[in-house]
A and B are shown apart, each in its own frame.
Chain A
């Protein structure tokens, strides 16, 4: 079974630029999560999708961050414009409905200069 795929693995941009991250969850997993992990911190949930609907986006900075999950499969997380404090690893995870285990991708490491 293929795991959660994310791309790119690394991204370096300057502040005020925009960036997008892509996630492909495990086949059949209806629930998809985006987490932000700042260096030295635990991951923090940004947004949770159930199929293509948003379940929780309470910690998503909506003035600059957006996410979509078209057709209930792949998802894209966008930051526009980026700030220095957005430097972090962005982790995507997915889970099967009715189960508690979340499977994480390798993450995208973003550096904002």
Chain B
């Protein structure tokens, strides 16, 4: 059974810091991995999607890497801003079957001005 872990559960940092968010998964048989952002009272917004054959994806100040063999992914946020405060969730799509996603519990990020 695929399990996704995100540690720590919460992080508070001053504005301007470069951040690394970690995600690990137990089964390397994945189709892809996604990072989502969730703001209070709102749904999830997809930030980056990495296919299993890729090593990284970049969008603006965000960079996500994937090491499928070791079951790890990192989300790098450059020059953090208060607007980055949200919960960040990692999700994997297991190989085969439906397109269902298996999510981690998320990491609540607070960026202080």
Contact in complex: B43, A91 (CB < 8 Å): yes
Does B11 count as interface, using CB distance less than 8 angstroms?
Answer: no
Residues of chain B at interface, number, CB under 8 A: 24
- Residues of A whose CB lies within 8 Å of any CB of B are 4, 31, 33, 40-45, 48, 55-56, 91, 93, 95, 100-107, 109
Contact in complex: A48, B46 (CB < 8 Å): no
Given the known A-B contacts A33-B100, A45-B101, are A106 and B46 also in contact in the complex, defined by CB atoms under 8 Å?
Answer: no
Contact in complex: B98, A100 (CB < 8 Å): no
Which chain B residue has the least Cβ–Cβ distance from A43?
B103
Does B71 count as interface, using CB distance less than 8 angstroms?
Answer: no
Task: Please name all residues of chain B whose beta carbon is closer than 8 Å to the beta carbon of A45 when the two chains form the complex.
Answer: 100-101
Inter-chain contact count A-B, CB under 8 Å? Answer: 56
6 residue pairs bridging A and B, Cβ less than 8 Å apart? A43-B103, A91-B43, A100-B49, A104-B45, A106-B42, A106-B43
- Residues of B whose CB lies within 8 Å of any CB of A are 4, 31-32, 34, 41-46, 49, 51, 89, 91, 93, 97-101, 103-106
Contact in complex: A31, B99 (CB < 8 Å): yes
User: What separation, in Å, do the CA atoms of A55 and B101 have in the docked complex?
Assistant: 13
User: What separation, in Å, do the CA atoms of A113 and B53 have in the docked complex?
Assistant: 47
Contact in complex: A42, B49 (CB < 8 Å): no
Task: Please name all residues of chain A whose beta carbon is closer than 8 Å to the beta carbon of B100 when the two chains form the complex.
Answer: 33, 45, 48, 56
Contact in complex: A101, B49 (CB < 8 Å): yes
Contact in complex: B49, A40 (CB < 8 Å): no
Contact in complex: A102, B101 (CB < 8 Å): yes
- Chain A nearest Cβ from B107, distance in angstroms: 11
Task: Please name all residues of chain B whose beta carbon is closer than 8 Å to the beta carbon of A102 when the two chains form the complex.
Answer: 46, 99, 101
Contact in complex: A40, B105 (CB < 8 Å): yes
User: What separation, in Å, do the CA atoms of A95 and B41 have in the docked complex?
Assistant: 21
Contact in complex: B104, A48 (CB < 8 Å): no
Contact in complex: A42, B105 (CB < 8 Å): yes
Task: Please name all residues of chain B whose beta carbon is closer than 8 Å to the beta carbon of A41 when the two chains form the complex.
Answer: 105
